[in-house]
């Protein structure tokens, strides 16, 4: 009610004061946006003007009306620049709810910072920052800035709606460039008519486009990346010149030739390193074993740092520098590994990829740089080994969910080729647990637990990062990832089995006071306390709009055996459970033999994309699993 009264009174005041200014008055915002959105983009104007040298003047004018505190950071504008990217200007204004200008920024309001990453040692990035945050809401900020990019490789694509929950009143973009320069435009969105937006004016080509009233995109649980649903105009040059390296982006093959050219003559190693490579690989029978021993050497002797200096953000450092200093970024470490393999007589391919938990869409028909990471591909007679060269803990040949199951650009002497990295499907990601519990009359239970993790399950709770840490850290991991309460650990051991699909074996034993509850002559036991499935997914809308995606499928196999005190009988025998759907299979059985209860559980969850109208069915499937996982049994002491 407080919000309603505020809105009514504010609307009255706005109507009285509309003469002050029309453009940024919140009376010009549609009512449902005022109630739902944390902010509204009132105006977004992007322009790129290319000169005959290929330099780009990039100008932005953007205005946000901040409606809720959660969007207040939009009133801070960061403009990145470097030795390559020239900063020209930054200014801002603040407007009250009626659209009246109340403040204009001064040069002294702009701060200058080094934009230095915590994992970087070579970087010349800086930021100009203008902070116009206000405490009293709502208000509007308007920013204008300009930077100069050195060449066409930097040309910006256009994303008119950067945030799905923030609607846009008006957005425009323009590209003006000489007729002898060829820019390419592509969009998968029907709202961006690429081929109707270009014209020739004098000696220039102009691409211009305007969009209005871009609505709130209400995100939904398990929704594929919103980037797949927002309008995006992709822009890339046909040809370009980056610091004297001439490139062609009209095909993946020609793009690969350019990357290969950047990498040329960067594989030289010292005589000592050559001798070390032959020492490490001497006596090994096959290329897999040779690749493995060199990869383990890489992990032991190098570490990852970011390097972002001009074309150094695209070009790797020489292998000899990684050898000398023991560090490098993804490009340099992959190049160093490639150089070692070459010396060992093994061919490999530098491979561009976009890393991250969500898979980024790559449009095969529109070659451009979609990538943010480099890995190495080692083709063998029957398979390809994929190497993550920045990780000191990844098992040999294991990519993990950061780069698995997505398209990548493999760089060869014959250009670039799109390929796909291996995907870890549900049957690769298996966790098997056997647990034995001895329940005593005093409420203390001893336990022995044996668990085997395979595939992506080795990353449960960041397990891969814990297995080589201190015993205290390992115990902390166990406490956070297994459901026992009030327990003591006597022993906890991990055994790592290397392989393309890694395996970790865990054994532990100890005692717990929290396994069962004694109430008079009864024992209450929840047989599954180690591995209860709980999704925490809620349906936030009555009618779902988008399909949903289960990124990681898996199989859990559990066998728990309980030895109960003598003379306790099960009050009611539970029925076995079998559930099967397109989302997975769940099986549960109970076997009682004298005072031994055996609990057998199997859960298989499929990965994949499912139609939106099946979401309620999916939630119901998860709810039933959670309900049965929390089944409690009551045992009564016989008289």
What are the residue boundaries of the structural domains of the chain, listed by start? 2-237, 262-420, 426-637
**Could you give the angle at the alpha carbon of 234 between the alpha carbons of 411 and 144, nearest 5°?**
120
Of the pLDDT bands very low, low, confident and very high (cuts 50, 70, 90), residue 152 is very high
Residue 114, pLDDT above cutoff 90: no
High-pLDDT (> 90) share of the chain, %: 74
- Predicted confidence (pLDDT) per residue in 259-287, tens digit: 999 999 999 999 999 999 999 999 998 99
Distance CA 545, CA 295 (A): 46
| pLDDT, mean of residues 381-401 | 91
CB 419 within 8 Å of CB 407: yes
Per CATH, is 2-237 categorized as 1.10.540.10? no
Residue 120, pLDDT above cutoff 90: no
CB 216 within 8 Å of CB 33: yes
Of the pLDDT bands very low, low, confident and very high (cuts 50, 70, 90), residue 393 is confident
Return the pLDDT at 248: 97
Residue 582 burial (CB count, 10 A): 12
Residue 586, pLDDT above cutoff 90: yes
Q: What is the CATH number of domain 426-637?
A: 2.60.120.1130
Of the pLDDT bands very low, low, confident and very high (cuts 50, 70, 90), residue 620 is very high
- Predicted confidence (pLDDT) per residue in 525-584, tens digit: 999 999 999 888 887 777 899 999 999 999 999 999 999 998 889 998 899 999 999 999
DSSP code of residue 158: B
Return the pLDDT at 1: 31
CB 453 within 8 Å of CB 504: yes
Distance CA 359, CA 347 (A): 28
Residue 421, pLDDT above cutoff 90: yes
Per CATH, is 262-420 categorized as 3.10.620.30? yes
Q: Which residues pair with 379 in a beta bridge?
A: 384
Token representation of residue 499:
């392989």
Residue 161, pLDDT above cutoff 50: yes
Return the pLDDT at 575: 93
136: CB partners within 8 A, 6+ apart: none
CB 285 within 8 Å of CB 277: no
Strand, coil or helix: what is 171?
A: strand
Distance CA 563, CA 119 (A): 52
Tell me which residue has tokens 């594929």: 224
Q: Which residues pair with 206 in a beta bridge?
A: 176, 199
Return the pLDDT at 442: 85
Return the pLDDT at 115: 66
Greater confidence (125 vs 117) lies with 125
Tell me which residue has tokens 């005692």: 511
Distance CA 559, CA 577 (A): 15
CB 360 within 8 Å of CB 370: yes
Packing angle between helix 287-301 and helix 330-343, nearest 10 degrees?
140
Q: List % helix, strand, coil for the chain (3-state, nearest 5).
A: 25, 40, 40
Strand, coil or helix: what is 587?
A: strand
Return the pLDDT at 227: 77
| pLDDT, mean of residues 354-371 | 93
Distance CA 229, CA 235 (A): 18
Distance CA 359, CA 355 (A): 8
Of the pLDDT bands very low, low, confident and very high (cuts 50, 70, 90), residue 224 is confident
Distance CA 573, CA 384 (A): 52
Of the pLDDT bands very low, low, confident and very high (cuts 50, 70, 90), residue 399 is very high
High-pLDDT (> 70) share of the chain, %: 94
450: CB partners within 8 A, 6+ apart: 433, 434, 435, 505, 506, 507
Residue 339 burial (CB count, 10 A): 23
CB 164 within 8 Å of CB 216: yes
pTM exceeds 0.85, yes or no: yes
Return the pLDDT at 124: 67
- Predicted confidence (pLDDT) per residue in 163-211, tens digit: 999 999 999 999 999 999 999 999 999 888 887 778 888 899 999 999 9
């Amino acid at each position: 009610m407080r919000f309603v009264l505020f809105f009514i009174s504010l609307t009255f005041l706005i109507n009285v004061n509309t003469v002050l200014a029309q453009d940024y008055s919140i009376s010009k915002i549609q009512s449902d946006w005022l109630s739902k959105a944390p902010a509204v983009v009132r105006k977004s104007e992007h322009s790129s003007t290319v000169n005959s040298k290929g330099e780009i003047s990039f100008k932005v004018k953007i205005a946000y009306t901040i409606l809720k505190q959660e969007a207040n950071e939009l009133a801070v504008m960061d403009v990145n620049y470097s030795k390559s990217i020239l900063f020209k200007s930054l200014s801002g204004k603040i407007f009250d709810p009626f659209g009246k200008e109340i403040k204009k920024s001064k040069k002294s309001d702009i701060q200058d910072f080094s934009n230095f990453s915590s994992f970087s040692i070579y970087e010349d990035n800086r930021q100009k920052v203008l902070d116009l945050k206000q405490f009293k809401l709502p208000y509007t900020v308007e920013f204008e800035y300009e930077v100069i990019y050195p060449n066409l490789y930097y040309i910006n694509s256009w994303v008119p709606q950067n945030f799905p929950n923030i609607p846009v009143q008006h957005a425009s973009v323009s590209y003006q460039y000489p007729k002898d320069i060829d820019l390419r435009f592509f969009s998968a969105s029907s709202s961006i008519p690429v081929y109707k937006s270009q014209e020739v004016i004098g000696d220039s080509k102009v691409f211009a486009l305007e969009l209005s009233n871009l609505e709130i995109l209400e995100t939904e649980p398990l929704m594929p990346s919103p980037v797949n649903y927002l309008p995006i105009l992709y822009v890339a040059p046909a040809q370009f010149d980056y610091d004297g390296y001439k490139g062609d982006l009209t095909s993946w093959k020609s793009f690969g030739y350019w990357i290969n050219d950047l990498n040329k003559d960067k594989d030289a190693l010292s005589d000592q390193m050559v001798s070390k490579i032959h020492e490490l690989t001497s006596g090994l029978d096959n290329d897999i074993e040779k690749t493995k021993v060199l990869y383990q050497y890489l992990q032991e002797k190098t570490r990852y740092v970011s390097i972002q200096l001009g074309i150094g953000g695209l070009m790797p450092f020489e292998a000899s520098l990684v050898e000398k200093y023991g560090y490098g970024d993804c490009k340099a470490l992959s190049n160093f590994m490639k150089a070692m393999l070459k010396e060992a007589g093994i061919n490999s391919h530098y491979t561009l990829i976009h890393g991250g938990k969500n898979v980024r869409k790559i449009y095969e028909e529109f070659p451009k740089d979609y990538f943010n990471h480099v890995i190495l591909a080692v083709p063998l007679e029957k398979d390809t080994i994929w190497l993550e060269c920045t990780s000191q803990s990844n098992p040999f040949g294991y990519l993990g969910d950061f780069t698995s199951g997505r398209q990548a650009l493999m760089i060869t002497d014959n250009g670039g080729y799109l390929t796909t990295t291996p995907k870890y499907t549900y049957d690769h990601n298996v966790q098997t647990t056997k647990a034995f519990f001895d329940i005593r009359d005093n409420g203390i239970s001893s336990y022995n637990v044996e668990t085997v993790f395979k595939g992506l399950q080795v990353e449960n709770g960041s397990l891969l990062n814990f297995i080589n840490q201190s015993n205290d850290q390992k115990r902390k991991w166990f406490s956070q990832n297994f459901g026992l309460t009030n327990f003591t650990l006597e022993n906890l051991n991990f055994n790592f089995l290397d392989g393309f699909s890694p395996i970790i074996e865990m054994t532990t034993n100890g005692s717990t006071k929290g396994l069962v509850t004694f109430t008079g002559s009864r024992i209450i036991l929840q047989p599954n306390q180690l591995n209860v499935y709980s999704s925490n997914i809620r349906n936030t809308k009555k009618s779902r709009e988008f399909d949903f995606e289960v990124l990681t499928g898996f199989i859990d196999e559990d066998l728990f055996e309980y030895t109960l005190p003598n003379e306790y009988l099960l009050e009611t025998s539970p029925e076995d459970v079998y559930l099967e759907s397109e989302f997975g299979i769940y099986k549960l059985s109970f076997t009682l033999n004298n005072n031994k209860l055996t609990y057998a559980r199997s859960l298989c969850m499929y990965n994949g994309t499912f139609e939106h109208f099946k979401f309620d069915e999916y939630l119901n499937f998860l709810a039933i699993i959670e309900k049965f996982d929390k089944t409690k049994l009551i045992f009564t002491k016989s008289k």
